[in-house]
Amino acid sequence: MTLARKAGITVATTRVIPLLTANAVAVKRFDRADGGRIHSIFAGTALRAAAVDAEPELSYPALAQLLRRAGVTQNDRNEKDARELFRRMVFNILIDNTDDHEKNHALLVTAPGANGKYELAPAYDVLPTGSGQGYQEFVCGTDGHDSTLANAMSQPGLFGLTPAEAAAEVAGVIDVVARVRTPASCAIGFFPLLARYPLISKAPVPVVADLIYLESGIALSTSNMIVAGSIDD
Write the CB contacts of 161 (distance below 8 Å, at least 6 apart in sequence): 83, 86, 169
The strand pair at 32-33 and 36-37 is best described as antiparallel
Q: What are phi and psi for residue 16, nearest 5 degrees?
A: -80, 130
Residue 198 lies inside a defined structural domain of this protein: yes
- Give the C-alpha separation, 98 to 126, whole Å: 9
Residue 3 lies inside a defined structural domain of this protein: no
Which pLDDT score, from 0 to 100, does residue 44 have? 95
pLDDT value at 210 more than 70? no
pLDDT tier for residue 186 given thresholds of 50, 70 and 90: very low
Residue 78 lies inside a defined structural domain of this protein: yes
Residue 44 lies inside a defined structural domain of this protein: yes
Q: How many CB atoms within 10 Å of residue 197?
A: 17
pLDDT value at 181 more than 80? no
Which pLDDT score, from 0 to 100, does residue 112 have? 81
Residue 15 lies inside a defined structural domain of this protein: no
Residue 28 lies inside a defined structural domain of this protein: no
Residue 18 lies inside a defined structural domain of this protein: no
Burial class (CB in 10 A: 0-12, 13-18, 19+), 61: buried
- Give the C-alpha separation, 105 to 12, whole Å: 12
Please report which residue ranges of 96-148 form alpha helices under DSSP H: none
Residue 23, classed as helix, strand or coil, is: strand
pLDDT tens per residue, range 67-90: 999 999 999 999 999 999 999 999
Average pLDDT over residues 143-153: 91
Beta bridge partners of 144: 141
Sign for the pseudo-dihedral over CA of 207, 159, 39, 97: negative
Residue 51 lies inside a defined structural domain of this protein: yes
pLDDT tens per residue, range 25-65: 899 999 998 888 999 999 999 999 998 778 899 999 999 99
Domain count, the chain: 1
Give residue 9's identity as a one-letter amino acid code: I
Which secondary structure element, helix H or strand E, spans residue 50, and what is its range? helix 43-50
pTM for the predicted model, two decimal places: 0.80
Q: Which CATH number fits the domain that encloses residue 61?
A: 1.10.1070
For residue 127, what are the domain limits?
37-216
- Give the C-alpha separation, 201 to 231, whole Å: 6
